[in-house]
Chain A
């Protein structure tokens, strides 16, 4: 019987993959998922802006400059200034840092916690599954924003608490979807084989089951980032999120919308566009990931 050397096979595969230039792969992807690529470009632009914010803008995002208060967009202040004379373009760029930090932190923690709980729930089944799912039902009974508001009202405002407030509603959402996929995987013989070989529960859950629910997990994860950005903006808009003078889009919208919507509309318009674009980008990208990873949609 021929012994298959797994390592050498993988190396050959990687070699084959390397033969396709990245730009060709990107071109193929762009042809198959043009909308998703547009979303990816928006996401990458956000990441780029947050990393290189100090280089991209000549101003400090928090320093007041009252001499320039409520200046309309011009060559110096591309998006105008707010009521404190702060450059809105600078605050939009730095606001991407806040949005991405909160978005990725909440989505990562929420999705991974949901992944582990969902797979564990499916794997163990029985009373554990029953109790855990009822707890999830309780959390899922609350609309996302209401639960986040309740958490932040209890813990207080601030970036860390906003991340916790957004993370908590994500966990049951992810756990529920992952569990439904993991239930099918649990019945596949290789899981029984792993048990028969004496592997521990943790190893079976993390090494053998979790990787097989990656498709729904990644779809959820990308959607969560967009949702988290929107939630952070909502909480900040309601005054329960990030606090002044930290640049954050929701906070900028709140500061500008009420008093200056009529006389200085640029104060509210740009953060509104930034929030919409960011959520739009992540949603488009998430849809593309879903279309790519879901075998039922892949052939369409």
Chain B
């Protein structure tokens, strides 16, 4: 079964072709030395990768840690190219009908405090992520619901036994948040210690963190990839305002920002710095959603939700918003370039994806009239971050106005916004997003399930859950594709329990002397920095 999915995944290698700039880079001999300064546009909530979900933590903290396996940093656009980080040799293939994975652990690896790494550390880490105890936060526990047991036959072997074979396991394991912690630290200091302390086996050692200012790291001389890292150290500079981040790159106070800039910023940098700036672009494994709150009337009515999605001109939005915002690609529930993603013809069968927007809007008006809500008013909650939330939010307000819906946009800072979205549920429709790291479509699409911990539509849809259960266990590529289409149609079109607006598009202009870094379809991936060097 895995073999078939493997073939499907292999096809994706051909199909993806995501990176615009990376492929053109010719082989160069890396130079050692130098400090990489980069800017980060978000705060660090805590250092604990297992509980955090933000790039604000990943960018400055990931270089201190290693993973069991990781996405190949030289080919990060490929969703199937993984390599061993703390394991030895190649990433193992499954045995026992795809239900058993045995990893050999590298010998001679030490934590930054000098403690030698063994399989017990990997097990303690994975237990914390997969089977967290009461009150222990684990943001990606759901990724591992296929895992039955984790055992360590000896000090350098770890075995994962799955309940059922799934192609989602290896990508989940390569998630960059799965920092490997020392068992000694977990036993001695408890499960919360890593929120405020750092001790990893990564390419850089923690030097200092000045909150609101910077995080500093220095080269780990005992790093397990010999000859790496190339850098002597790095400094992650906090810069919440985009203008500051741009100025930092323009003035060469920073060489790169790993999340991404809007098109206008790219154009300005290129215009002023010419070939001192290199631009890499990629589709982004982030989708911007609009989620109706089905606990509120009349959004419990599918006709009203259908009208909302029918009012959105996604193809037109893609054309123009891609010039001013970090969104571009029209898509469904799957990362657009994945082989399982809907083609344009398939998308056009869904409500709100027809290129004849006038016909869609006429249908929307009719549905609203049928539902008795021709003069619908919407309280629309949005996040106080320009890119892409406020830009797309303002566009949505205008889109819905065209079908007679009056929308009051309520923009809040991130904290209160999340409070509204997750706890208060005091909105009719809210901006929402699904940003994942490793492209793992079977896992990523759980976002659309009513039962998902990160779905805020407040609905139950047993039919959708049933389709997903089949998807999770389906090994035949053709049948899997059909099931994904059923899931997509049910979620986005028939029920409109969620609305996909546009998929994000990643634009990374950086100083041309930054070498080795290749853009990935996620701003979380390949941020360990051990492959980056400075051509100065």
- Do A and B share a complex? yes
Q: Which residues of B are found within 8 Å of A137, using beta-carbon distances? A: none
Any chain A CB within 8 A of the CB of B411? yes
> What is the interface of chain B mostly: helix, strand, loop, or mixed?
helix
A258 lies within 8 A of B398 (CB): no
Any chain B CB within 8 A of the CB of A34? no
Any chain B CB within 8 A of the CB of A158? yes
Q: Which residues of B are found within 8 Å of A258, using beta-carbon distances? A: 241-243, 386
A64-B394, A84-B394, A255-B386 provided; 4 other pairs, C-beta below 8 A?
A62-B397, A63-B401, A243-B410, A244-B397
Give a binary string over B306-342; 1 marks a CB under 8 Å from any A CB, 0 the rest.
0000000000100110011000000000000000000
Query: Separation in Å of the A251 CB from the closest CB of chain B?
Result: 10
> What is the interface of chain A mostly: helix, strand, loop, or mixed?
loop
Known contacts A157-B411, A157-B412; A245/B397 CB under 8 A: yes
**Count of chain A residues near B, Cβ 8 A:** 24
Any chain B CB within 8 A of the CB of A262? yes
What is the CA–CA distance of A260 and B398 in the complex, to the nearest angstrom?
Answer: 21
The answer, among A66, A158, A263, for a CB contact under 8 Å with B316, is: A66
B409 lies within 8 A of A156 (CB): no
Any chain B CB within 8 A of the CB of A216? no
Q: Which residues of A are found within 8 Å of B386, using beta-carbon distances? A: 255, 258-259
Interface stretch of the complex, out of B177-185, B209-217, B262-270, B446-454? B262-270
Q: Which residues of B are found within 8 Å of A62, using beta-carbon distances? A: 397-398, 401
Q: Which residues of A are found within 8 Å of B324, using beta-carbon distances? A: 69, 83-84, 259
Any chain A CB within 8 A of the CB of B498? no
Any chain B CB within 8 A of the CB of A239? yes
Chain A minimum-CB-distance residue to B264: A259
Give a binary string over B106-119; 1 marks a CB under 8 Å from any A CB, 0 the rest.
00000000000000
A243 lies within 8 A of B409 (CB): yes
Q: Which residues of B are found within 8 Å of A156, using beta-carbon distances? A: 410, 412, 416
What is the CA–CA distance of A244 and B395 in the complex, to the nearest angstrom?
Answer: 10
What is the CA–CA distance of A66 and B402 in the complex, to the nearest angstrom?
Answer: 14
Give a binary string over B372-416; 1 marks a CB under 8 Å from any A CB, 0 the rest.
000000000000101000110111011001000000011111001
What is the CA–CA distance of A84 and B325 in the complex, to the nearest angstrom?
Answer: 11
Give a binary string over A211-242; 1 marks a CB under 8 Å from any B CB, 0 the rest.
00000000000000000000000000001100
The size bracket of the interface on B is: 20 to 34
Q: Which residues of B are found within 8 Å of A63, using beta-carbon distances? A: 398, 401
Chain B minimum-CB-distance residue to A158: B410
Q: List 23 A-B contacts (CB under 8 A).
A: A62-B398, A63-B398, A64-B394, A64-B398, A66-B319, A66-B320, A83-B391, A84-B324, A153-B413, A156-B410, A157-B410, A157-B411, A157-B412, A243-B409, A244-B394, A244-B409, A244-B411, A245-B394, A245-B398, A245-B409, A260-B264, A263-B267, A263-B271
What is the CA–CA distance of A63 and B399 in the complex, to the nearest angstrom?
Answer: 9
Chain B minimum-CB-distance residue to A67: B320
Chain B minimum-CB-distance residue to A83: B324
Chain B minimum-CB-distance residue to A262: B268
What is the CA–CA distance of A64 and B409 in the complex, to the nearest angstrom?
Answer: 15
Q: Which residues of B are found within 8 Å of A255, using beta-carbon distances? A: 386
What is the CA–CA distance of A153 and B242 in the complex, to the nearest angstrom?
Answer: 22
Q: Which residues of A are found within 8 Å of B393, using beta-carbon distances? A: 244
What is the CA–CA distance of A258 and B398 in the complex, to the nearest angstrom?
Answer: 23
The answer, among B265, B316, B390, B401, for a CB contact under 8 Å with A244, is: B390
Chain A minimum-CB-distance residue to B393: A244
Q: Which residues of B are found within 8 Å of A263, using beta-carbon distances? A: 264, 267-268, 271
Give a binary string over A61-91; 1 marks a CB under 8 Å from any B CB, 0 the rest.
0111010010000000000000110000000
Give a binary string over A241-276; 1 marks a CB under 8 Å from any B CB, 0 the rest.
001110000000001011111110000000000000
Query: Separation in Å of the B22 CB from the closest CB of chain A?
Result: 26
What is the CA–CA distance of A258 and B413 in the complex, to the nearest angstrom?
Answer: 18
A239 lies within 8 A of B394 (CB): no
Query: Separation in Å of the A120 CB from the closest CB of chain B?
Result: 37
Q: Which residues of A are found within 8 Å of B409, using beta-carbon distances? A: 243-245
Most A C-beta atoms less than 10 A away, residue of B262, B391, B411: B411
Query: Separation in Å of the B236 CB from the closest CB of chain A?
Result: 22
A239 lies within 8 A of B384 (CB): yes
Query: Separation in Å of the A86 CB from the closest CB of chain B?
Result: 9
Q: Which residues of B are found within 8 Å of A64, using beta-carbon distances? A: 394-395, 398
What is the CA–CA distance of A259 and B269 in the complex, to the nearest angstrom?
Answer: 11
What is the CA–CA distance of A240 and B410 in the complex, to the nearest angstrom?
Answer: 10
A259 lies within 8 A of B242 (CB): yes
Query: Separation in Å of the A51 CB from the closest CB of chain B?
Result: 24
Most A C-beta atoms less than 10 A away, residue of B243, B271, B394: B394
Query: Separation in Å of the B1 CB from the closest CB of chain A?
Result: 47
Chain B residues 279 to 329 lying within 8 A of chain A, measured CB to CB, are 316, 319-320, 323-324
Q: Which residues of A are found within 8 Å of B401, using beta-carbon distances? A: 62-63
Query: Separation in Å of the A110 CB from the closest CB of chain B?
Result: 25
What is the CA–CA distance of A262 and B273 in the complex, to the nearest angstrom?
Answer: 14
Chain A minimum-CB-distance residue to B380: A243
A-B complex: 3 closest residue pairs judged by Cβ atoms: A66-B320, A64-B398, A244-B394
Query: Separation in Å of the A298 CB from the closest CB of chain B?
Result: 48
What is the CA–CA distance of A255 and B264 in the complex, to the nearest angstrom?
Answer: 13
A69 lies within 8 A of B398 (CB): no
What is the CA–CA distance of A257 and B246 in the complex, to the nearest angstrom?
Answer: 13
Q: Which residues of B are found within 8 Å of A153, using beta-carbon distances? A: 413
Most A C-beta atoms less than 10 A away, residue of B243, B262, B324: B324
Give a binary string over B204-243; 1 marks a CB under 8 Å from any A CB, 0 the rest.
0000000000000000000000000000000000000111
Give a binary string over B249-278; 1 marks a CB under 8 Å from any A CB, 0 the rest.
000000000000010110110011000000
Chain A minimum-CB-distance residue to B244: A258
Q: Which residues of A are found within 8 Å of B394, using beta-carbon distances? A: 64, 84, 244-245
Query: Separation in Å of the B201 CB from the closest CB of chain A?
Result: 40
The answer, among B262, B410, B412, for a CB contact under 8 Å with A259, is: B262
A239 lies within 8 A of B398 (CB): no
What is the CA–CA distance of A70 and B176 in the complex, to the nearest angstrom?
Answer: 39
What is the CA–CA distance of A93 and B394 in the complex, to the nearest angstrom?
Answer: 20
